[in-house]
Structure 1
Amino acid sequence: MALLLLSLGLSLVSAQELNPRAIVRKSYDMAKVSGVWYSVSMASDDMKRIEENGDLRVFIRNIESLKDGGLRFHFLFMVHGECVQVAMVCERTEKDGEYAVSYEGDNKVLLLETDYKLYITFHLRNIRNGTDTNVLALYVCRKYGLGPQNIISLSNQNTCFKYKK
């Protein structure tokens, strides 16, 4: 079901000015990934990890390409019932578009697809205590109508923010 929602989200986002020739699936220019992005949808093979209070439930705010080739992600997520902003640096691996970070286990973050302007998708593989968890995440750029004006803070209701209807 979650994968269906992720696909639907990508379909709706891509209906706006999508140019199939502009879609990048390899040889990424990470400097073009830098900027403000907003979480649209997540899917996982362990839904408990991305549901409310899940340790992998994060809402992205910004991605920075670093001079050393790494990426800095700025997230919002729940800590002890409070919505907090956290920056996490991922180190580049030898694989194109792949980054490593230690958080709740060993993680590989792989950029799957982007057009640098409209959307970006990531695959997170988390290995913790011998358990392998996969998360797919879809983010969109603020230029296409999704931004703070479409989000309301619900930090007192056990979630960082939720999209307005």
Structure 2
Amino acid sequence: MALLLLSLGLSIIAAQEFNPRAVVQRNYNMARISGVWYSIFMASDDLNRIKENGDLRVFVRNIEHLKNGSLKFDFEFMVQGECVAVVVVCEKTEKNGEYSINYEGENTVAVSETDYRLFITFHLQNFRNGTETHALALYARVPQLEPAFLSRFEETCKKYGLGPQNIVDLTNEDHCYSKR
């Protein structure tokens, strides 16, 4: 029995290893991203929007690829200490892996990269009152990821002009997680 538990534990650890050969950065099969996800990291050129009580600080629960090609996101966020559930639908655009939504301005949400089985990174471009904000979100199929994923996320952030100082770790900040 102990051997069985040990092998199960090792297989879970091995399943979390970052595999750069599995990463997809175009021609996405969006149906494969449907399912349960956890918020791991966010980054933005406006940290106030992703810090505690920020309007873009959300904790993903589920993503569903709809029949019409749109994406449905189930999120939770904190409002005055209470967990509030929100469902938003992002409409498919002409570009593969890109969606639009009206929330706190005009937004474009695009997949930056994914391996489908373990992680996905989204890039959000928000236009509000003449101001443009960029935010990135790293979601995972598990509540925690190994450090190699942070390194990869930092590299992705650099492509958008964001450094480590722009990154917020959400893994221990999801106060609604225990209520799942």
Tell me, in whole angstroms, the C-alpha distance in 2 between the residues paired with 1:14 and 1:70: 33
Name the residue aligned to 2:16.
16
Any unmatched runs of 5+ in structure 1? 1-12, 155-159
Please show how residues 27-46 of structure 1 align to structure 2 within 5 Å: 27-46=27-46
| Root mean square deviation, CA, Å | 2.7
Aligned-pair identity (%): 60
Name the residue aligned to 1:117.
117
Contact persistence 1:151–1:161 (CA under 8 A): no
Q: Secondary structure at the match of 1:42?
A: strand
Name the residue aligned to 2:71.
71
Tell me, in whole angstroms, the C-alpha distance in 1 between the residues paired with 2:38 and 2:174: 14
Q: How far is the alpha carbon of 1:96 from its aligned partner?
A: 1.2
Q: Secondary structure at the match of 1:142?
A: coil
Q: How far is the alpha carbon of 1:144 from its aligned partner?
A: 7.2
Contact persistence 2:118–2:141 (CA under 8 A): yes
Tell me, in whole angstroms, the C-alpha distance in 1 between the residues paired with 2:123 and 2:14: 18
Tell me, in whole angstroms, the C-alpha distance in 2 between the residues paired with 1:74 and 1:118: 18
Contact persistence 1:77–1:85 (CA under 8 A): yes
Q: Structure 1 or 2: larger helix share? A: 2
Q: Deviations over 1:40-70 (max 9, x none)?
A: 0001000000111100100101000000000
Name the residue aligned to 1:137.
137
Q: How far is the alpha carbon of 1:79 from its aligned partner?
A: 3.1
How many residue pairs end up in the alignment?
Answer: 142
Name the residue aligned to 2:96.
96
Q: Secondary structure at the match of 1:109?
A: strand
Tell me, in whole angstroms, the C-alpha distance in 2 between the residues paired with 1:143 and 1:161: 9
- The letter for the 1-side match of 2:50 is I
- The letter for the 2-side match of 1:90 is C
Structure whose alpha-carbon radius of gyration is higher: 2
Tell me, in whole angstroms, the C-alpha distance in 1 between the residues paired with 2:86 and 2:95: 26
Contact persistence 1:107–1:124 (CA under 8 A): yes
Q: How far is the alpha carbon of 1:22 from its aligned partner?
A: 1.4
Name the residue aligned to 2:50.
50
Q: Secondary structure at the match of 1:139?
A: strand
Contact persistence 2:16–2:145 (CA under 8 A): no
- The letter for the 2-side match of 1:73 is F
Contact persistence 1:14–1:118 (CA under 8 A): no
- The letter for the 1-side match of 2:16 is Q
Q: Secondary structure at the match of 2:32?
A: helix
Q: Secondary structure at the match of 2:37?
A: strand
Any unmatched runs of 5+ in structure 2? 1-12, 147-170
Name the residue aligned to 1:10.
none
Tell me, in whole angstroms, the C-alpha distance in 1 between the residues paired with 2:173 and 2:99: 31
Q: How far is the alpha carbon of 1:16 from its aligned partner?
A: 2.8
